[in-house]
Structure 1
Amino acid sequence: MADSIPGMRGVNHVGMTVPDVAEATAFFEDVLGCSKAFSFGPFSDSEGTFMQDLLNVHPRAVIDEIVMVRCGFGSNIELFQYQSPDQKTAFPKNSDIGGYHVAIYVDDIGKAADYFKSKGVRTLMGPLPVNEGPAAGQSILYFFAPWGLQMEAISYPGGMAYEKDSSTVLWSNTDPAK
């Protein structure tokens, strides 16, 4: 077995910077069904290097607010609203180094696609069922948050093909709080 961070239990949260934390929080709550846990901030250092030393951002960067949201049984999402003299506003594509997306597990990808359409959420082609290879059994649909963040709805209620030969399962519909 590979080495591990001592006491590692799993992914606690994924952090992302958004242009408007109120808009992002509303999207995660009102469209995706996540729950806001808490918010805090602002944080800044008008004279020193605290922001650079702690977060590797411009020393004059300001975090206006941080909001933590909980999405179902999965990881939490931390939303940051920053101001910074060197801030970039273009989103990387999935193919760019540093590109990313957030995937939300859903029970029924077809119902999720219909729901997104009813809410006016921009989607790409799909849902796309995967029928071959280790990921056979999953279906995916990429969609966008109002500010441009690329996200994915994913579903594999019958499992994926790789699971028959692996002891590692990527998703469980079991509520860990129970």
Structure 2
Amino acid sequence: MKNKILLGMLFISASSKAQTVSEKKWSLDFGGSIGILVPFDDDKDSKGQMGSNAVTSLQLNYRNLFARFQLGQTTLDFKYLNRFETVDTKITAKSNSTNAGFLFGYQRQFGRFEPYVMLGAGISFVDVPMAQYDKDDNSVNFTTKAGTYLQTNAGLGINYKISKSFILFLEGQVSTIPSVPKNSATHLSGVSAMIGIKAPL
């Protein structure tokens, strides 16, 4: 009888430990970050200025792998020179994009620190400032065109576990929107440096 009780207790203990280990394999984080964007696709007629980024993310972790959905807003000001046949125009344009995408990555924990790398893609909803030359009137018309474009992302960062409830992270991302019209004053491809905080759910 004692042997049966002992075996039963060992079975319950083993099941409990297995369940705990299984639960630790999966986790979900929710967080947000802010930072700056430095564009790298300027041309000789434009003068880029640093922009701003704000990102909200939901991340599913499985052991050292993770999948992240992120939703962000990018704003960037530009001074732009347009040269037409008989008219030169200097404008200040504000480019805005709302970005949504999925990234997949690998992370490895060393004590409280956890470096990671990631790669992904998504869509970018961009307000594109445009200038059009009218030969008949010898005038330039300025318009804003909204468009949806493919965005690709690659990044790396490091998590610092403040406590069981909060994680501070530093992150760098390279984002490109390759199909934005060439005649726009929009230069939203660049390198972002961000700081943020997230919490396990």
Say whether the fold is shared (TM-score over 0.5): no
TM-score between both structures, scaled by the size of structure 2: 0.21
TM-score between both structures, scaled by the size of structure 1: 0.23
Larger Rg: 2
Higher strand share: 2
Higher helix share: 1
Whose RCO is larger (CA < 8 A, sep 6+)?
Answer: 2
